């Protein structure tokens, strides 16, 4: 077994802390397992799932109150790629429970609060994989070492402000020796209820990559061998990543058990892609855009159907390094992705999902069919909004 260690968290809304006793000693930590397996007839671009039978994002998570002041969580993930199995500790963190004035601090390795989907666990998704926008610019889900502080304001409208300081290794932000903090992030969430049946949430997010180093997956160099090993990082990185997201949820009189509908959309804008020596190359892009829009309708307690459309800009090119300068060229690309899914929920803890994906990169169109099951046993907390 190939072992690749990195860390994971379970957000406050994504897990249920164990209750502390009067003495502050925890006797019953929450332990849960999420099994994710699939069959896929073809490969999907920018995907972590290979053709054929495979193991997806299978999780083992543990969480508990440490005492009346702190909460801790750990999640490991098993993933199978090319006949090898990786054991990844995606997130591990501690979080405060008793700070005043709506403040909350989390430290360790955790999912960034960037965007709508990123801070949610993969098994809670309504589609087989994250949209192309996330796979291209965030490596499906961006987690990193660091610290985060959030505050929920005491207003009738839900207002949450957050800041993050992160190592940045997953965004190639710490490639210089003096870079101890490679990425800084900030985010704003607004939300509220329109009436008993309708609610909404709007978000703005920003990640500043301190060094703005272009990811090696974004271009091809003729000066060194390629590394074809599986990688969890983004397809391309840049100095500034902006995001905006909007979610609308409907459920009759607020009862989500029998019927509900979720409309979600995100727009991502990556600016200043290139390090200086690549910026002068013919056709080199300075920015990339990506977005998706999805709608999922649960029409009975057991059945749900959904559609999602998204686009992600990219580029490819060839670079020749000649001493202190470079020659080469780049070409713009755009990946268009249309997806339809039908899911049967045996309960809140089990889902069997069928999905059709049509991908178009401007050169080739692919039809991809995926059959997936996601089953949870043990502790399983409430999902985020």
> Could you give the 3-state DSSP secondary structure of residue 170?
helix
> Could you give the 3-state DSSP secondary structure of residue 277?
helix
pLDDT score recorded for residue 317: 62
- Per-residue pLDDT of the chain (385 residues), as tens digits, is 333 333 222 333 333 344 443 444 455 788 999 999 999 999 898 888 889 998 888 999 999 999 999 999 999 998 776 677 788 889 999 999 999 999 999 999 999 999 999 999 999 999 999 999 999 999 899 999 999 999 999 999 999 999 999 998 888 765 555 567 889 999 999 999 999 999 999 999 999 987 655 444 343 333 333 333 445 678 888 889 999 999 999 999 889 889 999 999 999 999 987 544 444 455 667 889 999 999 999 999 999 999 999 999 987 665 555 555 555 566 678 999 999 999 999 988 899 999 999 999 988 999 999 999 999 998 766 677 7
- Determine contact, residues 128/37, Cβ cutoff 8 Å: no
For residue 35, the tally of other CB atoms under 10 A from its CB is 17
Terminal-to-terminal C-alpha distance of the chain:
36
Bridge partners of 74, per DSSP, are 62, 92
List the domain boundaries for the chain.
99-373
pLDDT score recorded for residue 318: 59
Cα 365 to Cα 385: distance, rounded to the nearest angstrom: 34
For residue 71, the tally of other CB atoms under 10 A from its CB is 23
**Which uninterrupted H or E stretch holds 134?**
helix 132-137
Burial 79-114 (b: 16+ CB within 10 A, else e): bbbeeeebebbbbbbbbebeeeeeebebebbbbbbb
pLDDT score recorded for residue 222: 33
For residue 302, the tally of other CB atoms under 10 A from its CB is 12
Choosing among 3.40.50.1010, 3.10.20.30, 2.40.160.10, 2.30.30.60, the CATH entry for 99-373 is: 2.40.160.10
Q: Any idea what DSSP says for residue 177?
A: T
**Which uninterrupted H or E stretch holds 135?**
helix 132-137
Burial 126-157 (b: 16+ CB within 10 A, else e): bbbbbbbbbbbbbbbbbbbbbebbbbeeeeee
**Which uninterrupted H or E stretch holds 246?**
strand 240-250
- Determine contact, residues 76/59, Cβ cutoff 8 Å: yes
Cα 349 to Cα 373: distance, rounded to the nearest angstrom: 11
- What would the two tokens of residue 35 be? 């099994």
pLDDT score recorded for residue 86: 81
pLDDT score recorded for residue 382: 66
Give pTM, 2 decimals.
0.84
Tokens 């994504």 correspond to: 14
């Amino acid at each position: 077994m190939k072992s690749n260690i990195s860390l994971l968290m379970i957000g406050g809304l994504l897990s249920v802390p164990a209750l502390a006793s009067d003495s502050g000693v925890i006797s019953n930590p929450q332990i849960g397992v999420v099994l994710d397996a699939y069959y896929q007839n073809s490969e999907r671009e920018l995907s972590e799932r290979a053709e054929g039978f495979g193991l997806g994002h299978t999780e083992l998570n543990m969480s508990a109150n440490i005492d009346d002041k702190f909460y801790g969580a750990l999640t490991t993930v098993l993933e199978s790629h090319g006949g090898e199995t990786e054991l990844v500790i995606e997130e591990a963190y501690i979080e405060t429970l008793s700070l005043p004035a709506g403040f909350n601090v989390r430290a360790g390795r955790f999912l960034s609060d960037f965007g709508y989907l990123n801070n949610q666990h993969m098994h809670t998704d309504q589609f087989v994989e994250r949209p192309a926008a996330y796979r291209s610019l965030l490596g499906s889900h961006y987690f990193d070492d660091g610290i985060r502080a959030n505050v929920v304001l005491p207003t009738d409208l839900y207002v949450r402000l957050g800041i993050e300081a992160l190592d940045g290794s997953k965004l190639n932000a710490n490639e210089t020796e003096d870079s101890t903090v490679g990425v800084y992030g900030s985010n704003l969430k607004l939300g509220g209820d329109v009436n008993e049946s309708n609610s909404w949430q709007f978000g703005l997010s920003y990640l500043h990559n301190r060094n703005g180093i272009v990811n090696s997956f974004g271009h091809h160099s003729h000066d060194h061998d390629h590394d074809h090993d599986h990688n969890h990082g983004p397809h391309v990185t840049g100095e500034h990543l902006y995001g905006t997201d909007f979610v609308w949820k409907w459920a009759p009189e607020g009862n989500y058990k029998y019927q509900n509908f979720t409309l979600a959309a995100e727009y991502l804008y990556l600016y200043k892609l290139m390090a200086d020596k690549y910026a002068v190359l013919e056709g080199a892009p300075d920015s990339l855009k990506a977005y998706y829009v999805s709608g999922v309708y649960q029409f009975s307690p057991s059945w749900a159907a959904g559609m999602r459309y998204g686009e992600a800009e990219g580029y490819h090119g060839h670079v020749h390094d000649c001493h202190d300068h470079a020659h080469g060229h780049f070409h713009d690309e755009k990946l268009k992705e249309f997806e339809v899914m039908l899911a049967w929920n045996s309960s809140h803890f089990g889902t069997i999902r069928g999905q059709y994906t049509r991908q178009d990169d401007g050169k080739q169109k692919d039809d991809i069919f995926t059959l997936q099951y996601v089953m949870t046993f043990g502790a399983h907390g409430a999902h985020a909004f």
